[in-house]
Structure 1
Amino acid sequence: MTTPDSSDVLPEAAAAERLRQHLEEIAHERDRAHRALQEREAELARIQRIARIGGLEIDFRDGVRNRRSPEYLLVHGLPPEEANETYENWVARIHPEDRERTVKHLFGVLKGGSEDYTAEYRIIRPNDGESRWIRVVAKIDRDRGGRALRLVGADLDVTDQMLAQETLRESEERFRLIADSAPVPIWVTKLDRTRSFANQAYLDFLGLPFEEAIVFDWRKALHPDDLPRMLQQQITGELSLKPFVLEARYRNAAGDWRWLRSESQPRWDPNGKHIGFIGVAHDVTAAKEAEIELRKLNESLERRISERTAQLESNEAQMRAIFETSHQYQGLLNQNGELLYANRTALAGIRADAADVIGKPFWDTPWFSATEGVAQVVRSAFATAMLGEDVKTEMLLRLPIGDRYFDFEMRPLHDQHGTIIGAVPEAVDITERRRGEEALRQSQKMEAVGQLTGGVAHDFNNLLTIIRSATDFLRRRELPDERRRRYIDAISETVERASKLTAQLLAFARRQPLKPEVFNVGAQVDSVAQLIRPLVGGRILIEVRIDDPDCYAIADIGQFETALINLAVNGRDAMNGEGQLTIGVRKVANIPALRAQSARSGDFVAISIRDTGAGISPENLDAIFEPFFTTKEVGKGTGLGLSQAFGFVKQSDGDIEVTSVLGRGASFTIYLPQAAPPADRKAGAIIGSEQASIGRGYRVLVVEDNDDVGRFSTELLEDLGYSVKRAADANAALAILSENEFSADLVFSDVIMPGMNGVELAGIIRDRFPGLPVVLTSGYSNVLAESAHSGFELIQKPYSVEALSRTLRKAIIEQRTTASKP
């Protein structure tokens, strides 16, 4: 066995020492590198926290595994244990309004072939409930087949940037609104001299749509004499990169030459780079013409400059000049509704100076003080505007310059922060337009009168032909008694038809004397339905639907029944005798807007009649209520049924609505004012018919100014057994009664007479001679239509002998019965 000598041991030990030292240096270098890496990581983490950037990794190779950096958790408001949060938790944290869009976008990118993924969405942070905007920038690792393996990226909190963008967008929108409301052209140009924006006044001046106006070459509208000067001044002004002013004549859309004074300011981007100009133009035609006139009158240059300088305004005055060019009435109100400014047009309307109205509450100014009720409307409009809403209405104002119609508008005024600081009232004078519309309505009314006159003449000539022919035959002595009776019956029936015709015309014109009564609508409809059944025939089913048995209305019952029958007969004809007629009754809280009239709120009863017929064509819907309008064959309708219903409901303070679909029937709905049930709900006594009564010597004072009618009435009453005395007018009748108030048992008076009319006479007799009954008669009277007959008996012309005798006897007996009661 041998042992190493010292010469062999020493080199190995030295090598081991060198190796140890080398390893120590490597370890120290590693430690230094590790510390440097930690420092860099700490610095990077600090930078990420400051910049609000968080890292994320999503691994798709085995399900979905998420890894979040501490900075990501900080940005998203998550605790440290959520470093591996689930996909579901991430989705739940997305703002509800952005959730569907964000998830759909992520899966769309994953399914595609792109290696880049970017997105912007809002989250709601769990730790403080704040809503924050997140921008994601990431790369996607894919396998050879394009399947997504892993997504690595960063989340950036861009809330401040997004809010800044929104603020910029709102600022730009406010600029557009303000610019479009200004009555002067405003524009924004780019370096190529095309415009990126032009307001409404700019478009109106050119008469071009927006797309054409922003590329329009203004040199084409310049006056030839101004073109060379303007080109030179424009180039000089633009090259100076300073504000500059130009004045020249331009041709507007109407072909007129107008002097415009344009002011241009250079535009700069955030980096200070020049990107174009913004400009505004004022119409200074009047000023330029005045300047030219002054130049002709004054040769002194200094004075000309002084006069022109005096016309130039300060910035505030220039803003006022924008309003002064408007033909609208315009003003400005503060938060209390006090007037801060009114333009020249508005002041001219009340013939006042600004000092007379500035500082006063707007609704207390002379624009509204002379018109009853309007001040409150304006005050309410101001209150609405201060809540952020626009108010538009039409109003008639009584101004010192005369009565004028206006389209009135009140808009809220906002400051740069969107706070409401006042209101802007504007009014457009539409008087001339209203007069034109009124002239058109008058023309249409005259056309309708012509149609009505023709219809009346046609129908009455038919009736008069029957009467004339029958009376001619009655003069023949050899006429057999049977034929004579037939002609007499024909005359009587024709008179009845003529009476109904005039009644229908008066109903349409709302000039018929009505007897309004409170009645149960359901019960009355049930009763009318029984009358209708034989009229419509057995092949038409009638269904009555009464929603509320205690529906009471106030109207003339006879006219109500006639209207229902007319509507039912129309429905029968529309169904050709086969179908279903549905009559309904219900209570409603309003009448809808009909025939250009606004809706009316209140308590009403709606009575509807619906048929299953052919319906009404749209072009006829507006004409069906006109008298003599009919789509039926000749001889099958007068065209007065619907006009009677229309006139009756309008005169009863109601309305009528029609709806129809061609081929699917029509529905008519009558609206009548609802009434409280009467204290005594029992049906009133029905006065049965009776034969003509004999006068038995009762004394009648006939008041009639027409000699022929007076003589005929006197003879007729004498033939009935009455003792008759006649007076030619109301004063003569009062003189007879004043001499002897017991000289008559009844006064029978016409309504229409010269001087005092019959209703006025009856009122005096009731006051002076309370025990003396009065019976009135008339074919038509606007007095009766407007005030009915004031409680007196009324017999309509033409009347039969039986009806006259019955009415007189009833009035005498009722008066005697009343007088005999204790």
Structure 2
Amino acid sequence: MGRWFDVHAFATGGPNRVAILFNDISARKAVENRLRDLNETLEGQVAARTAELRRYRDIVEATTAPICAFDTDYRLIAFNKAHNDEFRRVNGFDTKLGDVLPDLFIPEQATTMRALMARALAGEGFTEIAAFGRPEFGQPYWEISYTPLRDEAGNILGAFHVATDISDRLRAERELASAQDALRQSQKMEAMGSLTGGVAHDFNNLLTPIVGGLDMLQRRGVGGSREQRLIEGALHSAERAKTLVQRLLAFARRQPLQPRPVDIGSLVSGMAELVASTSGPQTRVSVQVDKDLPAAVADQNQLEMAILNLSVNARDAMPQGGRLTVAARAVDLGAGHRTGLAPGRYVCLSVADTGAGMDADTLKRAIEPFFSTKGLGKGTGLGLSMVHGLAAQLGGALSIDSQPGRGTQVELWLPTTAGAVEGAASSATVVVNSGAGRALLVDDEDVVRASTADMLTELGYEVVEAVSAEDALRLLDEGLSVDLLVTDHLMPGKNGTDLARDFLQRSRTARVLVVSGYAEVEGVAPDLPRLVKPFRLAELAARLAEGVSQ
């Protein structure tokens, strides 16, 4: 390896004499070379580090999440563009380096911000959710993650946080939770409806022989006047039980909509006692019905349920008590009425209360399914939507007038009809026809079948009994010829509706009557004659007298 020398030449003594001094500087040269290499390396490292820092800065600046760093005095020492933009959006002004961050917020938020920053400056890394911003600009909810900043020795120099506006996420979570609550309420109501429908069906089966037996004793004049009064009282109680079961079925929605002429005045007057007992002692109930009210097209069971729903809503709007008014009047509507109904004559059935009333926003959403102001578990939000749907199905309309502090009035508009109102036939109108023919009676309940067989026999029919649809078809296959099929709908195996269809395929001239404790909408076809349990001889005779053939 060569060496480096520093050479000096100078004259000495006589002429032509030169002295040369060699100074070995190899070590110094080696050091200089090393220094030069270090300088070149350092420049490269600085350039690389500068580029790296620039990349980090570009990344931070490009990040849409607000990021800011602060020192131990809570002063801003760095922040990205997103931080300033978001701060301006919710506070109305810009931030700048050196600002004491907590002092930029309104007092209650300043306290919260200082407490969060203090935790980070104490060395804690954490994430919190809090609302920041001025009310006039909105107060979003932020998810803020804090991280301490330390030097090489581990001493805390400050901290920084990264924030994310999660207001939309929280809103979506609340809406999802509300939808889940509504679904649970709907499922609970469906379960209650199924249970109620099943219980009501069983009660109807129990009531059928009771009503039939009492009806027979009354018609045959069994006993003296005292016994007849007792029978009359028992029949009256049985009819009230029948009405109650029909209302349970309407609540359970286990009956198809059957529009027909209904005496609204009698219906409303007849429900006064039930509305009063449902509303409680603190509510004064008033019933106002116009004289000579025309009949309206409605489903009586569903209409009764609608009145009960509206009455319960009115009661709940008056927790301290008040006045509840149920009214019915005839109105001639002209063109352009607020209900949007076509001109004509209508019956307006209204339920009004003196309760808290509703503001404009609540009123707009009042008929939305599952919307309720009663709180979780206290209301399904289905009452008004069901009444609205009923009105639409019947060709009518629903209108609501309400103001905070002035109560609410709900009006159900129903089209009138000149058709005759159906009433319960009396025993005096029953005509016994000894030549009625042969009837095939199908019911899996022995006592119900026996009661119905007695009625058919008294009406002049020769009765053949079967315990199931399969048993009935076997008899028909064996050559049994009948003029009438009377069958229960719900039975083990084949149901009564399917049996009636098979029977009509065999005999085009015969008649059928489907009897049931309740009729699922999708169960009994609307074109088949139906009779609802329990029934009396007069009702059975009236239904058969219609002579509906298929």
Q: TM-score, normalised by structure 2?
A: 0.50
Equivalent position of 1:669 in the other structure: 411
2:66 maps to 184
Q: CA deviation at 1:187?
A: 8.6
TM-superposed CA distance for 1:728, in Å, is: 1.9
* Partner residue in 2 for 1:796: 532
Which of 253, 267, 276 is the equivalent residue of 2:128? 253
Deviations 1:283-315 (A, max 9, x none): 6xxxxxxxxxxxxxxxxxxxxxxxxxxxxxxxx
Q: Does 1:513 align with 2:256?
A: yes
1:775 Cα deviation from its structure 2 partner: 0.3
Q: Which of the two has higher C-alpha Rg?
A: 1
Q: Does the CA-based 8 Å contact 1:223-1:250 persist in structure 2?
A: no
CA contact (8 A) 1:695 1:720 kept: yes
Partner of 1:151: none
- How far apart are the structure 2 equivalents of 1:683 and 1:450? 36
Give the counterpart letter for 1:492 in structure 2: L
Structure with more relative contact order (C-alpha pairs < 8 Å, separation 6 or more): 2
Instruction: Name the residue aligned to 1:485.
Output: 228
The one-letter code of the counterpart of 2:490 is: I
Are residues 563 and 439 of structure 1, via their aligned partners in 2, closer, same or farther at CA, if it must alter by over 3 Å? closer
Deviations 1:43-66 (A, max 9, x none): xxxxxxxxxxxxxxxxxxxxxxxx
Mark the CA change 1:724 to 1:192 in structure 2 (over 3 Å): closer, same or farther: closer
1:428, CA displacement in angstroms? 8.0
Deviates more, 1:722-731 or 1:487-496: 722-731
Secondary structure of the equivalent of 1:253? strand
- Structure 1 residue 725: deviation in Å? 0.9
Structure 1 counterpart SS, 2:429: coil
Instruction: Quote the Cα distance in structure 1 between the aligned partners of 2:395 and 2:289.
Output: 32
TM-score w.r.t. structure 1 length?
0.36
Task: Kindly state the Cα deviation for residue 489 of structure 1 after the two structures are TM-superposed.
Answer: 0.4
> Pairwise mapping of residues 190-229 of structure 1 onto structure 2 (< 5 A)?
193=76, 198=84, 210-211=105-106, 216=114, 220-222=118-120
Say if 2:125 and 2:146, in contact at 8 Å, map to a contact too: yes
- Is the CA contact (8 Å cut-off) linking 1:183 and 1:201 kept in structure 2? no
Alignment match of 1:438 (pick from 177, 180, 183): 180
Distance between the aligned counterparts of 1:567 and 1:496, measured in 2? 23
1:484 Cα offset (Å) = 0.7
CA RMSD of aligned residues (A): 6.6
Q: Which amino acid counterpart does residue 118 of structure 2 have in structure 1?
A: K
The answer to whether the 8 A contact 1:543-1:581 is kept is: no
Q: Deviation per CA, 1:430-467, whole angstroms, max 9, x where unpaired?
A: 5796357534763697599889999x99xx9xx99xx9
Percent identity, aligned pairs only, is 22
On the 8 A contact 2:192/2:252 being kept in 1, the answer is no
Deviation of 1:608 after TM superposition, in Å, equals 3.8
Change (3 A) 1:728 1:258: same
Please say if residues 507 and 644 of structure 1, whose CA atoms lie closer than 8 Å, have aligned partners that are also in contact.
no
Q: SS where residue 696 of structure 1 aligns?
A: coil
Q: Distance in 2 between matches of 1:444 and 1:487?
A: 44
Deviation at 1:780, TM superposition (A): 1.3
Q: Which segments of 5 or more consecutive residues in structure 1 lack a partner in the other structure? A: 1-178, 226-248, 263-279, 284-321, 329-406, 408-426, 547-551, 593-600, 623-640
C-alpha distance in structure 2 between counterparts of 1:791 and 1:739, whole Å = 28
Task: Name the SS of the counterpart of 1:699 in structure 2.
Answer: strand
Answer whether contact 2:441 2:486 (CA < 8 A) is retained.
Answer: yes
Determine if contact 2:67/2:160 at 8 Å carries over to the other structure.
Answer: yes
- Tell whether 2:544 aligns with 1:808: yes
Pairing 1:516-595 to 2, within 5 Å after superposition: 516=259, 528=264, 542=290, 556=298, 558=300, 583-584=330-331, 586=333
User: What secondary structure sits across from 2:546 in the alignment?
Assistant: helix
Relative to structure 1, the CA distance from residue 610 to residue 774 in structure 2 (aligned partners, 3 Å threshold; closer, same or farther) is closer
Of residues 241, 244, 247, the one that matches 1:498 is: 241
How far off its partner does 1:544 sit? 11
Instruction: Report the CA distance between 1:733 and its aligned residue.
Output: 1.8
Cα displacement string for residues 184-230 of structure 1 (whole angstroms, at most 9, x for unaligned residues): 336999x97499975658999x99983455995997344556xxxxx
State the Cα distance separating 1:702 from its structure 2 match: 0.7
Matched, 1:702 2:435: no
Count of aligned pairs between the two proteins: 392
Match of 2:488 among 724, 745, 750: 750
Aligned partners of 1:693 and 1:809 also within 8 Å = no
Q: CA deviation at 1:793?
A: 1.4
- Does structure 1 retain, via aligned residues, the 8 Å contact 2:69–2:161? no
Q: Any conservation in 1 of the 2:146–2:160 contact (CA below 8 Å)?
A: no
Distance (whole Å) between structure 2 residues aligned to residue 693 and residue 687 of structure 1: 17
Matches within 5 A, 1:98-109: none
Deviation for aligned residue 1:497: 0.6
Tell me the distance in 2 between the aligned counterparts of 1:669 and 1:534: 19
Q: Which amino acid aligns with 1:712?
A: S
What does residue 764 of structure 1 align with?
A: 502
Amino acid at match of 1:494: S
- Structure 1: distance between partners of 2:182 and 2:418: 51
**What SS does structure 2 have at the residue aligned with 1:774?**
strand
Asked if structure 1 preserves the Cα contact closer than 8 Å seen for 2:488 and 2:496, the reply is yes
Q: Tell me the distance in 1 between the aligned counterparts of 2:298 and 2:194.
A: 25
Q: Is residue 715 of structure 1 aligned with residue 465 of structure 2? A: no
1:507 deviates by 2.0
CA contact (8 A) 1:659 1:666 kept: yes
Partners of 1:492 and 1:794 in 2: how far apart? 23
Aligned counterparts of 1:805 and 1:544: Cα–Cα separation in 2: 30
Aligned 8 A contact 1:696 1:722 in 2 = yes
- Cα 1:198–1:492 change in 2 (3 A) is same
User: For 2:527, what is the secondary structure of its paired residue?
Assistant: coil
8 Å Cα contact 2:443/2:468 also seen in 1:
yes
1:778 matches 2:521? no
Change in 2 beyond 3 A, CA 1:804/1:582: closer
